[in-house]
Amino acid sequence: QKEVEQNSGPLSVPEGAIASLNCTYSDRGSQSFFWYRQYSGKSPELIMSIYSNGDKEDGRFTAQLNKASQYVSLLIRDSQPSDSATYLCAGDMNRDDKIIFGKGTRLHILP
């Protein structure tokens, strides 16, 4: 069974600190990975996509991909209360345009 796994949390982080979210995946042939943010009652919103090993930075967000170890992470610098949400990791799992989502990690930024 192809899977994307995340710790469900909640992960509590003080305001201004770095939040680190992690995700592992089962299919070594996967090429594409995504991080989405989902506020309660809302739909997922794309934050970052990453396709190559290494780091990709966009503002306060950095996605990291390590294909050898089959993990993806998302760092959020200078965390704000508005970052409190559920973060979904997703990967293609070699499924031809379809992606599999993890169940999400709930992040709580403490003011």
Partner 1 sequence: DVKVTQSSRYLVKRTGEKVFLECVQDMDHENMFWYRQDPGLGLRLIYFSYDVKMKEKGDIPEGYSVSREKKERFSLILESASTNQTSMYLCASSFLEGTGGAYEQYFGPGTRLTVT
83 is a site residue for partner 1 (CB under 8 A): no
Shortest spacing between CB 16 and partner 1, in angstroms: 29
The stretch among 16-24, 43-51, 59-67, 70-78 that binds partner 1 (CB under 8 A) is 43-51
CB of 61 to partner 1, least distance (A): 14
| Radius of gyration for the alpha carbons in the chain, expressed in angstroms and rounded | 13
Q: Are the C-beta atoms of 93 and 33 separated by less than 8 Å?
A: no
Q: Find the binding residues for partner 1 in span 48-77 (CB under 8 A).
A: 49, 51
Give 74's strand partners. Answer: 21, 63
Q: How many CB atoms lie within 10 A of CB 82?
A: 8
Question: Which CB sits closer to partner 1, 22 or 49?
Answer: 49
**Span interacting with partner 1, options 11-19, 61-69, 75-83, 86-94, rule CB under 8 A:** 86-94
> Would you mind telling me the total number of residues written for the chain in this entry?
111
d(CA 106, CA 49): 19
In whole angstroms, the minimum distance from the beta carbon of 34 to partner 1 comes to 6
Residues in touch with partner 1 (CB under 8 A): 29-32, 34, 42-46, 49, 51, 88, 92, 94-99, 101-104
